[in-house]
Amino acid sequence: MSTVTMMLLVAVSAPVLAQQTGDQLTVRFSGVLKKKPCHINNDRRIDVAFGNVGVLKVDGERYQQSVPYSIVCDAPEPGGRLMLSVKGTAAGFDDVVLATNADGLGILIRQNGQRMRLNTPLLINVDHPPPLEAVPVKAPGIALTGGRFQATATLLAEYE
């Protein structure tokens, strides 16, 4: 056998020689199923109506409305930290502002008068949830047009 043939046989059979037998191990997955511990607004939808909003009067202050909600926890987790967040799509002009279906118009959520970041959990006291307000805001340099508008978000309370 020539040296080249011998080297070729070794190169071709090397993967076969390197192959090992496998091993098996059973993996067990477990957890605890829990009912949702808290209920927001008695599991009813929250509606915030701004009424008629003047396109030239949207300034981030006028038309502010309270967001009426309540949180009741059936069995608070001992030592658990309750987090509240507003989940929604941010407006293209400000990542803290909730997008609406109207070009250049968004809804700013405030908690205790401060801008509340969308999709960011906030530590709260379940016995005294912070007041939330919503106010229409417009993108800088945009002239709003008339028509109906709406926005949708999810209010989420969860233990950390």
Q: What is the DSSP string of 89-146?
A: PEETTEEEEEE-SSTTEEEEEEETTEEPPTT--EEE-TTSPPPEEEEEEE-TT-----
Residue 134 — very low, low, confident or very high, per pLDDT cuts 50/70/90?
very high
Domains in the chain (CATH in brackets) are 38-159 (2.60.40.1090)
Lowest mean pLDDT among 74-83, 84-93, 108-117, 134-143: 74-83
* Residue 124 main-chain phi, psi, to 5 deg: -130, 165
Tell me if 82 sits within 8 A of 38, measured CB to CB: yes
Q: Find the mean pLDDT for residues 70-78.
A: 81
Buried (b) or exposed (e) across 93-107, using 16+ Cβ within 10 A? bbebbbbbebebbbb
Q: Find the mean pLDDT for residues 55-79.
A: 90
* Residue 15 main-chain phi, psi, to 5 deg: -60, -35
For residue 86 the two structure tokens come to 């507003």
Distance separating alpha carbons of residues 66 and 132, to the nearest angstrom: 6
As a whole number of Å, the CA-based R_g of the chain is: 28
Can you state the percent helix, strand and coil of the chain, rounding each to 5? 10, 30, 60
Higher local confidence (pLDDT), 38 or 46: 46
Note the pLDDT tens digit of each residue in 86-100.
999 999 999 999 999
How much of the chain, in percent, has pLDDT values that exceed 90? 65
Q: Find the mean pLDDT for residues 47-69.
A: 97
pLDDT for position 26: 86
How much of the chain, in percent, has pLDDT values that exceed 70? 86
Averaged confidence pLDDT in the chain: 87
Higher local confidence (pLDDT), 14 or 156: 156
Write down the pTM of the prediction. 0.77
What pairs with residue 99 in β-bridges?
106
Q: Above 90 in pLDDT, residue 131?
A: yes
